[in-house]
């Protein structure tokens, strides 16, 4: 087999093998979503997720990847509808709080500053001050390793009149607190090194 000589970089000089996590950390900054999922009585729980993507234009669909142990995992297995929201800079504390507490233990809406807003089509509420909110009807799901990908069809969308930018997760170097989350504008205005 003929392999073109030009594709071979000098391994070790410009490319090196690393532990998986070291390469994964280069995904930062990563966008964050809130998954607002209802329980059987319609009470919403909020969980931040970094692993999300749009998967279809027509119909518009969005998917999130949720670990098996998460309370949200059980909720999404049973839910017919839910809301995906893009947190804004108003939500830095809420991302940390909702990402480090489980709805299995506490009512995160009650315990946080999050304000709900009425949705247009589904019963699950929107989050006020989210840069965007997408009302979803549950679609297909796929187990991948220790997470399940849940895809939902967007049936209505909303934007904030006050906040037009979503939060990025800058990565662990920036800490575990709210300072780890910034909008792109905030990031460009700040020093480009961790605090
Ligand atoms: C920035 C951030 C991103 C996260 N991304 C994910 C994710 O994509 N998938 C996941 O299963 N958990 C993710 N987590 C962890 C969950 O949000 C966390 O375990 C949460 O407490 C689960 O809440 P629940 O038990 O109420 O569902 C993330 C946490 C943070 C702070």
Q: How do the domains of the chain map onto residue ranges?
A: 29-189
**Residue nearest (by alpha carbon) to ligand 1 atom 15:** 99
Q: Mean of the per-residue pLDDT values for the chain?
A: 94
| pLDDT in the model for residue 194 | 64
CB 67 less than 6 A from any atom of ligand 1: yes
**E strand or H helix that includes residue 159:** strand 147-159
CB 75 less than 6 A from any atom of ligand 1: no
Alpha-carbon gap, residue 128 to 111, rounded angstroms: 16
Dihedrals phi, psi of 96, to nearest 5 degrees: -65, -45
Mean pLDDT of 33-59: 98
Q: Looking at the predicted structure, is the pLDDT value of residue 123 above 80?
A: yes
CB 66 less than 6 A from any atom of ligand 1: yes
* Residue 164 structure tokens: 């037009």
Alpha-carbon gap, residue 15 to 60, rounded angstroms: 38
| pLDDT in the model for residue 162 | 98
Structure-model confidence comparison of residues 16 and 9, the more confident one: 16
pLDDT by residue (tens digit) across 159-194?
999 999 999 999 988 899 999 999 999 998 886 666
Alpha-carbon gap, residue 14 to 30, rounded angstroms: 25
**Residue nearest (by alpha carbon) to ligand 1 atom 7:** 49
Dihedrals phi, psi of 185, to nearest 5 degrees: -65, -45
Structure-model confidence comparison of residues 195 and 166, the more confident one: 166
CATH number of 29-189: 2.30.110.10
CB 49 less than 6 A from any atom of ligand 1: yes
Overall residue count recorded for the chain in this entry:
195
What is the rounded (10 degree) CA torsion for 135, 81, 101, 62? -50
Share of the chain above pLDDT 70, in %: 92
Percentages of the chain per state (helix, strand, coil), in multiples of 5: 25, 35, 40
CB 158 less than 6 A from any atom of ligand 1: no
Mean pLDDT of 79-83: 98
**Number of other residues whose CB lies within 10 A of the CB of residue 99:** 19
Among 29, 45, 49, 169, say which to mutate for ligand 1: greatest number of ligand atoms within 8 Å of CB.
49
Q: Output the CA–CA distances (angstroms, integers) from residue 13 to 3, 7, 9, 16, 43, in the order listed.
A: 21, 14, 8, 8, 55
CB 71 less than 6 A from any atom of ligand 1: yes
């Amino acid at each position: 087999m003929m392999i073109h000589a030009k594709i071979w970089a000098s391994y070790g000089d410009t490319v090196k093998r690393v532990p998986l996590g070291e390469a994964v950390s280069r995904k930062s900054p990563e966008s964050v979503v809130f998954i607002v999922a209802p329980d059987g009585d319609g009470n919403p729980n909020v969980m931040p997720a970094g692993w999300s993507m749009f998967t279809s234009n027509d119909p518009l669909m969005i998917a999130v990847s949720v670990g098996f142990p998460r309370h949200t995992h059980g909720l999404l297995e049973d839910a017919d509808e839910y809301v995906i929201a893009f947190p804004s800079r108003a939500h830095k504390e809420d991302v940390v709080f909702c990402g480090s507490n489980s709805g299995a233990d506490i009512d995160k809406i009650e315990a946080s500053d999050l304000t709900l807003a009425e949705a247009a089509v589904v019963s699950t509420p929107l989050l006020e001050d989210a840069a965007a909110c997408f009302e979803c009807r549950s679609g297909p799901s796929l187990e991948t390793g220790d997470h399940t990908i849940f895809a939902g069809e967007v049936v209505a969308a909303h934007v904030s009149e006050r906040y037009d930018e979503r939060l990025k997760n800058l990565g662990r170097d920036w800490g575990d607190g709210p300072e780890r989350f910034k909008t792109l504008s905030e990031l460009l205005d700040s020093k480009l090194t961790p605090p």
